Structure 1
Amino acid sequence: MLLGFSGLMAFVVAFVPTVPDGRCGPNAYSQTPAEIAAAVRNNIWSLVVVAALAAGVTAWLKRGTVTRDSSERPTVRSVVVTVVCGAILLGELVLFLALRDRFIALSHDIAAGTMVAGVIAVMVLSALRAEDRHRGAGAGTVYKRIYIAIAVALAAALGTTVLAALTVHGFDHLVLIAEVIVIVLFATYWGVQTKELWDLRAADGLEARPTQGVVE
């Protein structure tokens, strides 16, 4: 859920530009406000249509495959996450439909902030479940600490960057530095998680082999 939400916000970040920077003067790549508004309108409508189709196809594919069990109810955490993500998406959609100028002015920053918050939340939730995945083994504690460290590093690095942009005169590379930080630390998280999943697969394979041998 959170990764899907962060991915959707990443599309909004890509489709809605930041505030135009006119310091370089007019050039072949300059766009008027009207051209920017037209591009944003086209991009976001395309995203809305594709997201709606993807949601419909996903629901159709899952139709009849989910076994309903009264004992399996959504946790409070999953309900809260779903409500928060849904509220943000609904707010973005309302801005786009009713207040197009405000959407163009604010949506990039809102989407970028919530995307990063979603990524950090994914790291923290993965850390909280690490020991369960490893059934209490020492490796679960190690991965838990690594995921928490990456999440804290991401939050701290972005916070420091924003603080520098607000307080240091002449600091005008906030977006570029923030994007590099997110890419590097998320890639680190992805690499660590890949290693963890390999370890889990290897452990499951070793546990399964004696049983398979007895059956054969």
Structure 2
Amino acid sequence: MAEPAGYSIKTYRYLRMAMVAMVVLLGASLVIEWSKTDPHCLQTSISAYYYTPVQAIFVGALIAIGLCMVVLKGNTEREDILLNVAGILAPAVALVPTPGQGSCRSVPVVLGDTDANIANNMLALFVVGAPCLLVTAVFVLRARLSRADRNPMYLLGFAVALAIFGGGIAWFFVDRDGFIDNAHYAAAVVMFVCIIAVVLLNAKQFRRKDARRVPANRYSVIALGMVVVPVVLLAWKAMFGWAHAVLWVEGALITLFAIFWIFQTQELWNEGLREGGQELPRSQAVPSPLLSSSAE
């Protein structure tokens, strides 16, 4: 009979693999839709595929990915906060579509009242989010009072989540038109910034391992790509004009994050977290799990 810890590691693995599966699911849906249109007919962004038959997959995959990022524990408190913020914002990216519907779709899509959809879905999200934050506050307060965990980063993480949630509610009710027009972009930009920061943190953490066992820091390569590729593509758009620059920027970032997630899952296949989820001191050498057995 497997030990309880073994079940925890298995659950951790399944959640991680589920995130990759959601990215592949979204990619497959996009390719299928593109294959049914003219090869040169592309929406200007992945988000604009909300207005095509991809809509259900787009919304469902982003919500599932967001839940996984919130549920999964980061290797450090900073990584955990960044994953939580990205996970909180992912449903907003899904439920508040980009205002531009685009013109490339395989079939005419009968759209309902988008504003009404946003009003209903975001209100439902707030209704669910409020008690979740309340329960989180109870856990954080209980840990502080019992002195089980006095780490201020948990308070910071809760404060950030509360600020995002409270700011979103205020924006939604005070300036509904502005929310409908701009919330998608605001949430998407912050979400991608958090994702890039997660990769950068892992590149820094991975460098602290024994250099003799880690021939190359692939997280650094991915992080470099996540910074350079958007800059180059957007600069090209600014200089020469390119309607599909955002589409390729989003596609590149999502692909690179999926590659990062696969590498990190492989690295942490047996451990789940690096060194119990704490920052490793620079003097401590840890053999790379990438070179060890990954059998269950």
Shared fold by TM > 0.5?
yes
Conserved in 2, the CA contact under 8 Å of 1:130 and 1:140? Answer: no
Give CA-to-partner distance per residue, 1:62-101, whole Å, 9 cap, x none: 786775158x4325xx777666665444433322121111
For 2:211, the equivalent position in structure 1 comes to 138
Q: Which residue number corresponds to residue 163 of structure 1?
A: 235
Specify every segment of 5 or more residues in structure 2 that has no aligned partner in the other structure, as ranges: 1-80, 276-286, 288-296
- 1:150/1:185 contact within 8 Å kept: yes
CA–CA distance in structure 1, aligned partners of residues 228 and 137 of structure 2: 38
In structure 1, give the amino acid aligned to 2:125. L
| Change in CA separation of 1:50 and 1:101 when aligned onto 2, cut-off 3 Å | same
Who is 1:187 aligned against? 258
Match for residue 190 of structure 2?
A: 114
Gaps of 5+ in 1: 208-216
Q: Which residue of 2 aligns with 1:18?
A: 98
Cα deviation per residue 1:163-213 (whole Å; 9 max; x = unaligned)? 3333333x2223432332122101111111112113757xx9xx9xxxxxx
Change (3 A) 1:121 1:105: same
How far, CA to CA, are the matches of 1:97 and 1:59 in structure 2?
Answer: 24
Report the CA distance shift for 1:92/1:159 in structure 2 as closer, same or farther (over 3 A).
Answer: farther
Query: Residues 129 and 68 (structure 1 numbering): CA distance in 2 closer, same or farther, change over 3 Å?
Result: farther
1:102 matches 2:178: yes
Match runs of 1:1-216 below 5 Å: 1-21=81-101, 23=103, 28-29=108-109, 31=111, 35-58=113-136, 68=147, 72-74=150-152, 86-130=162-206, 136-138=209-211, 145-169=217-241, 171-198=242-269
Larger radius of gyration, structure 1 or 2?
Answer: 1
TM-score scaled by structure 1? 0.70
Give the residue type in structure 1 aligned to 2:210. Answer: A
Instruction: Give the 3 Å change call, closer, same or farther, for CA 64–73 of structure 1 in structure 2.
Output: closer
- So what's the TM-score if we normalise by structure 2? 0.53
* 1:175–1:54 distance in 2 versus 1, CA, 3 Å: farther
1:11 & 1:22 partners in 2: Cα distance?
21
Percent of aligned pairs sharing the same letter: 30
What is the count of residue pairs matched by the alignment? 193
Q: Counting helix residues as a fraction of each chain, which structure ranks higher?
A: 1
Q: Is the 8 A contact 2:199 2:260 kept in 1?
A: yes
Contact residue 86 and residue 191 of structure 2 kept, 8 A = yes
